[in-house]
């Protein structure tokens, strides 16, 4: 493990996630797996990054790895894109061949260009959610007045935003429509809005906007939606600090874990 650059807390993390690797045969199990994965991923550094994300990779049955790599390559996934997909979703290469083929076929039927990053992103999102669950999310977006071509645009370019559960998507869409006053298709161009916490991000910032609308409309940004994407520090610097109303603004933003001093 140290030869793969795992030391200190990183080594502790790997062992805590896959403790049984300490009982594996070095010669008959771990060394052959490491050699196989280094050959697939191109370097020990790439393998290090993947194992950090998915420690159980070292404990997996590798029977499906080579066949699945071949299946992915047949879907026009070149080496760089293949490595990207596996690094995001290492378990892709551990699936049964039948399941992986069905997921790839589903992405094809969505009309996403094979060999594109959008194809890889959609495959990762589907594998992460499960095929049936992913289909249910697409149906949900249809019921929320999104057009088919709008939904497909999200799937092509921002599929990872559909990684949340169905209840979360419903909750975020309800906030965006009924509280923030956006049209449902706002998530087509700003799909990250589906990933944020309503309680810890969207609603607190909305309260700040409401306060500014009443007290100092000139400070309101031209595009409120873009402000939801700001980091905590950037949002605080731009809208919470340096004004006579700072204390009141922080009160509207209370509950946040932003360790900032009012000045």
Task: Give the tens place of pLDDT for each residue, 29-44.
Answer: 888 888 888 887 778 8
* CA pair distance 239, 201, nearest whole angstrom: 14
User: Angle 31-41/65-74 helices, nearest 10 degrees?
Assistant: 10
Maximum alpha-carbon separation in the chain: 71
Distances (CA, A) of 170 to 77, 102, 177: 33, 27, 11
CA neighbor of 75 nearest in space, from 46, 19, 118: 118
Chain-wide mean pLDDT for the chain?
83
| Beta-carbon contacts of residue 205 (< 8 Å; ≥ 6 apart) | 227, 228, 235, 253
Residue 257 falls within a domain, yes or no? no
Residue 22 falls within a domain, yes or no? yes
Residue 221 falls within a domain, yes or no? yes
Contact 220, 212 (CB under 8 A): yes
Contact 33, 62 (CB under 8 A): yes
Residue 220's domain comprises 198-252
Q: Label residue 164 by pLDDT band (50, 70, 90).
A: confident
- What pLDDT, on the 0 to 100 scale, is given for residue 193? 92
Percent of the chain with pLDDT over 90: 16
- What pLDDT, on the 0 to 100 scale, is given for residue 168? 92
SS3 label, residue 5 = coil
Residue 44 falls within a domain, yes or no? yes
pLDDT at 199 over 80: yes
Residue 35 falls within a domain, yes or no? yes
- What pLDDT, on the 0 to 100 scale, is given for residue 171? 94
Contact 156, 112 (CB under 8 A): yes
Percent of the chain with pLDDT over 70: 92
Boundary of a domain, candidates 60, 86, 106: 60
Boundary of a domain, candidates 16, 38, 60: 60
- What pLDDT, on the 0 to 100 scale, is given for residue 258? 44
- What pLDDT, on the 0 to 100 scale, is given for residue 254? 61
Residue 185 falls within a domain, yes or no? no
Contact 41, 78 (CB under 8 A): no
- What pLDDT, on the 0 to 100 scale, is given for residue 155? 84
Q: Label residue 246 by pLDDT band (50, 70, 90).
A: low
SS3 label, residue 79 = helix
- For residue 1 the two structure tokens come to 């493990």
Boundary of a domain, candidates 15, 37, 60: 60
pLDDT at 261 over 80: no
pLDDT at 257 over 80: no
Contact 197, 204 (CB under 8 A): no
* CA pair distance 119, 76, nearest whole angstrom: 10
Q: Which class for 172: exposed (0-12), middle (13-18), buried (19 or more C-beta within 10 A)?
A: buried
- What pLDDT, on the 0 to 100 scale, is given for residue 247? 67
Q: Label residue 194 by pLDDT band (50, 70, 90).
A: very high
Task: Give the tens place of pLDDT for each residue, 107-146.
Answer: 998 888 888 888 888 898 899 888 899 999 988 888 888 8
Number of domains forming the structure of the chain: 2
Q: Which residues of 141-166 are buried (b: 16+ CB within 10 A; e: fewer)?
A: beebebeeebbbbbbbbbbbbbebee
Residue 175 falls within a domain, yes or no? no
CA neighbor of 55 nearest in space, from 86, 90, 104, 101: 90
Mean pLDDT over 160-173 rounds to 88
Q: Does residue 98 or residue 245 have the better pLDDT?
A: 98
- For residue 160 the two structure tokens come to 């990872």
SS3 track for 101-154: HHHHHHHHHCCCCCCCHHHHHHHHHHHHHCHHHHHHHHHHHHHCCCCHHHHHHH
Residue 54 falls within a domain, yes or no? yes
């Amino acid at each position: 493990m140290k030869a793969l650059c795992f030391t200190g807390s990183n080594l502790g993390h790997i062992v805590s996630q896959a403790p049984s690797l300490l009982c594996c045969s070095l010669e008959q199990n771990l060394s052959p797996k490491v050699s196989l994965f280094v050959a697939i991923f191109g370097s020990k550094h790439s393998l290090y990054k993947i194992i950090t994300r998915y420690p159980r990779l070292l404990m997996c049955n590798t029977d499906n790895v080579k066949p699945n790599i071949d299946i992915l390559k047949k879907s026009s996934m070149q080496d760089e894109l293949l490595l990207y997909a596996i690094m995001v979703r290492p378990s892709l290469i551990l699936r049964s061949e039948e399941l992986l083929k069905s997921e790839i076929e589903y992405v094809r039927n969505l009309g996403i260009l094979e060999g594109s990053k959008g194809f890889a992103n959609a495959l990762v999102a589907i594998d992460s959610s499960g095929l049936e669950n992913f289909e249910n999310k697409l149906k949900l977006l249809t019921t929320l007045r999104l057009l088919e071509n709008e939904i497909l645009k999200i799937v092509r370019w921002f599929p990872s935003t559909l990684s949340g559960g169905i209840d979360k998507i419903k909750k975020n869409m309800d906030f965006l429509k009924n509280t923030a006053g956006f049209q449902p298709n706002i998530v087509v161009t700003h799909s990250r809005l589906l990933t944020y916490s309503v309680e810890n991000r969207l609603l607190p910032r909305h309260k700040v906007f409401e306060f500014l609308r009443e007290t100092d409309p000139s400070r309101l940004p031209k595009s409120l939606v873009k402000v939801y994407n700001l980091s905590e520090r950037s949002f605080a610097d731009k809208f919470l600090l340096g004004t006579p109303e700072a204390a009141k603004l922080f009160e509207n933003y209370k509950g946040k874990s932003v360790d900032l001093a009012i000045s």
